[in-house]
Amino acid sequence: MTSKIDLYPGQRKTSKAVATIAKGSGRVRINNIPAELVQPEVAKELLLTPLTLVGDQRNKVDINVQVAGGGFMGQAFASAVAISRALTGDVKGDKDPKEHPFPKSVREEIRKKLTEYDRHFLAGDHRQSESKKFGGPGARRRKQKSYR
């Protein structure tokens, strides 16, 4: 019988990420690639920020993230949100996760650190780009007119 795994989602613009967490030795993989090899450097720093804030607890778990859609920064932020939710055990419906590697007291401490640094790591960022409308090249810009 397979063990039940909780999935922790994260999203930003059109990027969607799903993280899983298990007891381990501190490996973090983004689309089956070690997180330390992610390029560009700015995206790597952003997605490793929650793990940096956690400190030594990072070396007790393995996190696997699958991310798709959007650009590299959107994917990095979506991955950071998914990793943060996985570390704190945020599951929809305020129920306790099935088999989380951290006890509840440690998860609450991690949640406190993350919200002090940036609340968007747990709440997400709901902003979306505005859709294009007719009569112009973009969402707001229109063709100029002159009456001379």
Q: For the segment 71-109, what is each residue's pLDDT rounded down to a tens digit?
A: 999 999 999 999 999 999 887 666 777 788 888 899 999
Return the DSSP state at 57: G
How many CA atoms does the CB half-sphere of 13 hold within 13 Å? Answer: 13
Q: Which amino acid is at 82?
A: A
Distance CA(134)–CA(76), nearest Å, equals 32
Burial of 72 (0-12, 13-18, 19+ CB in 10 A): middle
Q: What is the pTM of this model?
A: 0.88
User: 113 pLDDT band (50/70/90 cuts)?
Assistant: very high
> CA separation (Å) from 4 to 31, 32, 73, 100, 144?
21, 20, 31, 11, 59
Do residues 45 and 97 lie in contact, with contact meaning Cβ atoms separated by under 8 Å? no
> CA separation (Å) from 51 to 85, 95, 146?
11, 23, 56
Is the pLDDT reported for residue 21 higher than 60?
A: yes
Is the pLDDT reported for residue 1 higher than 60?
A: no
pLDDT of residue 3: 59
pLDDT of residue 143: 84
Is the pLDDT reported for residue 66 higher than 50?
A: yes
